[in-house]
């Protein structure tokens, strides 16, 4: 297996990414080859600084970098030798089996859809994130920002994508899927939720358990929480802010600790023809390591094939 | 001033409401008359039990109660002698100057719009709530659920309503108004946010300061945070759940303490022709007392007149 990693992506790249690659390398098995995509001389210098053998990695040298604030579509087109553009080209051509980056999220989304493309039948790919559960364990929240406006059919598909992801990556059997809404009852909601509920209620594609309200995001009502990308993004960022607040205030608790994105590595882009993970912009080496491991798990679990089968 | 209070509304009514009325009575000035609307014999028995003189109150006896789970429109029509229906009739006829209830939120909304009606020019009234600020003080969030689907013009008006409310009730001078969005930049967002931003940017009706993301709800970016009622409701309930979680875990902190809805009394319905407050269903006497005081403040501050002027 070849695991592609953008070493230029993220606020603390390339140092955090190269150090993360080293940490990942230490736990990957011998047949899992990390491919570092980015400025090779810089990577070599960082490895030497750390006293870690460069022989452990493959390198693909690139000369351009897509900045965090750049316009995704323009950047992908105008910077063909950027680490993200090259990564997706390699992923498309099968030179790597998975690609991850803590860089420009929009460019990762655009790159996915332009290069490896959506799985036939998938209306819109989604980005998923984890939410810790109060009683322990994790849930999946999607979409967290790839699609600001959604149709009912798109939300229905997010249920399928999230359900398969929860089952294969987090070993949750027959995941309970719920819809974010402003009431528990079927007749509550905005037009989107009202139109989505009956589709989910009738589907045999996943185990729908009804609506969840804002207060139930962290409770044990559901394993997979479906929202449009606007609402999901607000939920994710609010949850992140609570983690930051409790940390700053020194309020340590096992539950709040499980909000720590570093442990999860990043958000998968679900519904495209290859495993793609987007890391948090502020990723440190630990987060990068876990992004690489998530990337590996997505390959090993056969996630893409499972999603393809579901949409056949 | 006559302050109408529904003593039948809320999970712990009539006991919590009557006890709350007693507490409010102790701090209201002599010319502020509390009018208790609901089952009079029960109220008298509770007052006697507490050894508190019934002479301090006016009573309006009603024979019906709208339950928390009832369909708002049907209930308002089918129960004309319910405490909520009678309260709104009195408010409309000027027998009371303000009306509050911790009962069925939907019935309070429908009652407001059917009886005292929207202020001319206001497309849709909104419900507002408070959000504590990390650096101290409070912000206003609206709409928190009255309007699940909104138009850009409606969100613009929420900015006006929230700005006037923040200024008159919380003494925030020239409140900074922000739009909930999934990015800070003008070009980020769903279709609604994209269409609302330019309206807010150009308006002279309030002090627009741009977008706020989910992570900035509790930061000092803005005093008034505008969202559609779907997103606002999810934000409010998530914030409430965090308060509950920190309480349960014994993580006491001044910031989290300021989430306690009991201190704020309830959510005003802004944009109708009289001061109306909806309390939390689980209101205890302290919350009821503060709901009554908020109700009074809305009358005393001349809020309704100010809003009318703004929409002329």
DSSP string over A96-158: SSEEEESS-HHHHHHHHHHTT-BPTT-SS-EEEEEEE-TTSSEEEEE-SSS-SS--HHHHHHH
Q: Which of A178, A245, A258 to mutate: most B Cβ within 10 Å?
A: A245
Q: Chain B closest CA to A211's CA: distance in Å?
A: 12
Query: Does residue A201 register a pLDDT over 90?
Result: yes
Q: What is the reported pLDDT for A261?
A: 80
Contact status, residue B279 vs residue B16, Cβ threshold 8 Å: no
Q: Which residues contact A23 (CB under 8 A, 6 or more apart)?
A: A285, A286, A288, A289
Residues of A in contact with B215 (CB under 8 A): 237-238, 240-241, 244
| CATH architecture, domain defined by B123-270 | 3-Layer(aba) Sandwich (3.40)
Which tokens go with B164? 């006037």
A62-71: average pLDDT: 94
Query: Band of the pLDDT at A44, cuts 50, 70, 90?
Result: very high
Percent of chain A residues topping a pLDDT of 70: 100
User: Cβ–Cβ of B235/A238 closer than 8 Å?
Assistant: yes
Nearest to B233 among A182, A191, A237 (CB): A182
Per-residue pLDDT tens digits for B108-120: 999 999 999 999 9
Output the average pLDDT for chain B. 96
Query: Band of the pLDDT at B253, cuts 50, 70, 90?
Result: confident
B9: phi then psi, degrees, rounded to nearest 5? -95, 135
Beta partners for residue B57, in sequence order: B34
Query: Does residue A257 register a pLDDT over 90?
Result: no
Write down the CATH number for the domain with range A1-122+271-312: 3.40.718.10
Torsion of CA A229, A234, A236, A242, to 10 degrees: 180
Residues of B in contact with A74 (CB under 8 A): none
B148 in contact with A at a CB cutoff of 8 Å?
yes
Nearest to A215 among B240, B253, B255 (CB): B240
In which residue are the tokens 């609010």 written?
A238
Nearest to B231 among A213, A230, A251 (CB): A230
A61-72: average pLDDT: 95
Which tokens go with B159? 């900015």
Write down the CATH superfamily of domain B1-118+271-301.
Answer: Isopropylmalate Dehydrogenase (3.40.718.10)
Per-residue pLDDT tens digits for B21-51: 999 999 999 999 999 999 999 999 999 999 9
Cis peptide before A143 (omega within 30 of 0): yes
Nearest to B230 among A134, A182, A239 (CB): A182
Q: What is the reported pLDDT for B194?
A: 98
* Distance (Å, whole) CA A283 – CA A278: 10
Q: What is the reported pLDDT for A138?
A: 92
Residues of B in contact with A73 (CB under 8 A): none
A254 in contact with B at a CB cutoff of 8 Å?
no
Residue A107 vs residues A76, A110, A234, A278, B161: alpha-carbon distances, Å: 6, 5, 20, 10, 38
Query: Does residue A15 register a pLDDT over 90?
Result: yes
B178 in contact with A at a CB cutoff of 8 Å?
no
Query: Band of the pLDDT at A260, cuts 50, 70, 90?
Result: confident
Query: Does residue B258 register a pLDDT over 90?
Result: no
Identify the DSSP state of A8. T
Residue of A nearest to B148 (CA): A190
Query: Band of the pLDDT at A33, cuts 50, 70, 90?
Result: very high
* Distance (Å, whole) CA A67 – CA B90: 62
Contact status, residue A212 vs residue A131, Cβ threshold 8 Å: no
Residue of A nearest to B239 (CA): A215
Per-residue pLDDT tens digits for B173-200: 999 999 999 999 999 999 999 999 999 9
A211-228: average pLDDT: 96
Contact status, residue B248 vs residue B201, Cβ threshold 8 Å: no
B132: phi then psi, degrees, rounded to nearest 5? -70, 150
Query: Does residue A213 register a pLDDT over 90?
Result: yes
In chain B, ranges of CATH 3.40.718.10 domains? 1-118+271-301, 123-270
* Distance (Å, whole) CA B231 – CA B254: 26
Output the average pLDDT for chain A. 96
In chain A, ranges of CATH 3.40.718.10 domains? 1-122+271-312, 124-265
Buried b (16+ CB within 10 A) or exposed e, B272-298: bbbbbbbbbeebbbbbbbbbbbbbbbb
User: Cβ–Cβ of A235/B214 closer than 8 Å?
Assistant: yes
Angle made by CA atoms A246, A249, A252, in degrees to the nearest 5? 55
Q: What is the reported pLDDT for B298?
A: 98
Secondary element (H or E) of residue A200: helix A191-202
* Distance (Å, whole) CA A236 – CA B182: 10
Q: Chain A closest CA to B144's CA: distance in Å?
A: 10
Per-residue pLDDT tens digits for B148-176: 999 999 999 999 999 999 999 999 999 99
Angle made by CA atoms B94, B100, B105, in degrees to the nearest 5? 120
Contact status, residue B84 vs residue B107, Cβ threshold 8 Å: yes
* Distance (Å, whole) CA A7 – CA A102: 8
Which tokens go with B250? 């014994």
Which tokens go with B140? 């206003």
Query: Does residue B257 register a pLDDT over 90?
Result: no
Write down the CATH number for the domain with range A124-265: 3.40.718.10
Residue of A nearest to B149 (CA): A190
Query: Does residue A264 register a pLDDT over 90?
Result: no
* Distance (Å, whole) CA A38 – CA B62: 75
Contact status, residue A102 vs residue A289, Cβ threshold 8 Å: no
């Amino acid at each position: 297996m070849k695991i592609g990693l953008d070493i230029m992506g993220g606020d603390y790249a390339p140092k955090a990414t190269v150090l993360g690659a080293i940490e990942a390398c230490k736990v990957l098995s011998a047949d899992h080859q990390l491919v570092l995509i980015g400025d090779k001389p810089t990577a070599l210098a960082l490895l030497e600084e750390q006293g870690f053998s460069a022989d452990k990695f493959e390198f693909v040298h690139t000369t351009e970098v897509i900045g965090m604030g750049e316009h995704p579509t323009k950047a992908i087109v105008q910077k063909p030798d950027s680490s993200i553009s090259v990564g997706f080209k390699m992923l498309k051509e099968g030179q790597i089996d998975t690609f991850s980056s803590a860089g420009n999220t929009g460019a990762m989304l655009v790159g996915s859809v332009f290069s490896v493309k959506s799985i036939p039948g998938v209306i819109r790919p989604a980005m998923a994130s984890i939410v810790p559960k109060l009683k322990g364990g994790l849930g999946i929240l999607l979409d967290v920002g790839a699609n600001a406006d959604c149709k009912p059919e798109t939300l229905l598909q997010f249920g399928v994508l999230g359900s398969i992801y929860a089952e294969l990556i987090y070993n949750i059997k027959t995941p309970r899927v719920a819809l974010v809404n402003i009431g528990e009852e079927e007749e509550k909601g905005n037009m989107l939720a009202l139109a989505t509920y009956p589709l989910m209620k009738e589907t045999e594609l996943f185990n729908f358990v009804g609506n969840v309200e804002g207060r139930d995001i962290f409770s044990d009502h559901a394993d997979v929480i479906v929202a449009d990308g606007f609402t999901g993004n607000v939920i994710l960022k609010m949850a992140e802010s609570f983690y930051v607040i409790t940390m700053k205030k020194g309020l340590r608790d096992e539950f709040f600790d499980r909000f720590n994105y570093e442990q999860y590595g990043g958000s998968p882009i679900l519904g495209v023809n290859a495993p793609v993970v987007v890391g948090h912009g502020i990723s440190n080496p630990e987060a990068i390591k876990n992004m690489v491991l998530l990337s590996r798990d997505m390959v090993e679990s056969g996630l893409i094939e499972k999603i393809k089968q579901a949409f056949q």
